[in-house]
Amino acid sequence: MSKQVVVVGGGVIGLLTAFNLAAKVGQVVVCDQGEVGRESSWAGGGIVSPLYPWRYSPAVTALAHWSQDFYPQLGEHLFASTGVDPEVHTTGLYWLDLDDEAEALAWAVREQRPLSAVDISAAYDAVPGLGPGFRRAIYMAGVANVRNPRLVKSLKAALLALPNVTLREHCKITGFVERDGRVTGVRTGDGVLAADEVVLSAGAWSGELLRTLGLALPVEPVKGQMILFKCAEDFLPSMVLAKGRYAIPRRDGHILVGSTLEHAGFDKTPTVDALESLKASAVELLPGLEGAEVVAHWAGLRPGSPQGIPYIGPVPGHQGLWLNCGHYRNGLVLAPASCQLFTDLLTGAEPVIDPAPYAPAGRLG
């Protein structure tokens, strides 16, 4: 297939889409309004699981399961080919004092996932730094986290090594070129960039761009703030989550704590209120963080969508235009499955999972 495909948006979804397509099409051009991977993909925590997987629809679950099984080999492949290790770090995850624990356990049985109730003393034995007062715990073995900034760097290096891929950073897309009902390119600050197929993977900005065609895509920015501590490498052996806040250990002792959920438009300014709230949650979870250095505090914009179900597939009435966007809180979790499914659809291959729940048809205004 000798087509030129333009991917609008260089987050993990856009980069992995380009990586998958590169082996199947003639040329791939990735355009990002800033540096690739510096928005939601950089800002998130990188847990390779939805925070509460039992609260999601089967559509999200199907993508999550496929991706979770695939992530270790993706990490190994990228590390071997680029020398940049995305650090897929398997630690398991403890949920503490859940209100819907019964639903979680029933979901685990139904979906055959390794999640089970554990005695709270076992949780304190496994995570010695855990704060006092927790009464119940469930644990899922095998849950990993990926160091998302390193995943972005690795994907970028892999793409730069491919002769048929071009990365155009600081290239803002202002609209689409359309002729006789077919999208034939995109408008940039430097003029028109022609394409046989255009993929919109612009995260929280996807709805703004699709509006230029008179289409209403219900994807909106949802702000999330995080903080990063530096501790000893063995400070936190497992991920922990309580009261909607989580702590994630990196291999080198950095601990991420997040996150907020704020509807503040496209404002990404970190706030003092959020910093204090996140610090308080961190110390409640892990009292040893009381005196730890906060080495970073930042905010990102998630691409919020109804039920967190992404849009993957062709846009009806606009031939040549495709969507792979709207992953809300789970872009990193769902990326491998979403991008493989998308590649299957664009190239006409047998889809890895049923594409029907993600089809834009019937879901756009």
Mean pLDDT, the chain, whole residue set = 96
Would the pLDDT of 365 be above 90?
A: no
242 and 333 fall within a common domain: no
Q: Are residues 123 and 20 in the same domain?
A: no
Please tell me the predicted confidence (pLDDT) of residue 55: 97
76's tokens: 């190994």
pLDDT value at position 2?
84
Residues 299 and 156 in one domain: no
Residue 214 inside a domain? The answer is: yes
pLDDT digits (tens, 9 = 90+) for 322-363: 999 999 999 999 999 999 999 999 999 999 999 999 999 999
The last residue of a domain, from among 289, 304, 319: 304
Residues 331 and 231 occupy one common structural domain = no
* pLDDT value of position 255: 96
| Residue 324, SS3 per DSSP | strand
Q: Which domain holds residue 120?
A: 93-141+220-304
Question: Distance between CA atoms of 188 and 182, rounded to whole angstroms?
Answer: 18
pLDDT in tens, 158-196: 999 999 999 999 999 999 999 999 999 999 988 999 999
50 touches 115 (CB < 8 A): no
Question: Do 259 and 290 lie in a common domain?
Answer: yes
Beta bridge partners, 31, equal: 8, 168
Residue 1 has pLDDT above 80, yes or no: no
Which three-class secondary structure state does DSSP give residue 356? helix
**Pairwise CA distance, residues 47 & 335, whole Å:** 12
Summarised one tens digit per residue, pLDDT across range 118-172 is 999 999 999 999 999 999 999 999 999 999 999 999 999 999 999 999 999 999 9
For residue 81, is it within any domain? no
Residue 275 pLDDT > 80: yes
Assess if residue 227 is contained within a domain.
Answer: yes
End position of a domain, from candidates 279, 304, 329: 304
For residue 260, the Cα-to-chain-centroid distance in whole angstroms is: 16
Whether 210 maps to a domain, the answer reads yes
* pLDDT, tens digit, 9 for 90 and up, residues 16-61: 999 999 999 999 999 999 999 999 999 999 999 999 999 999 999 9
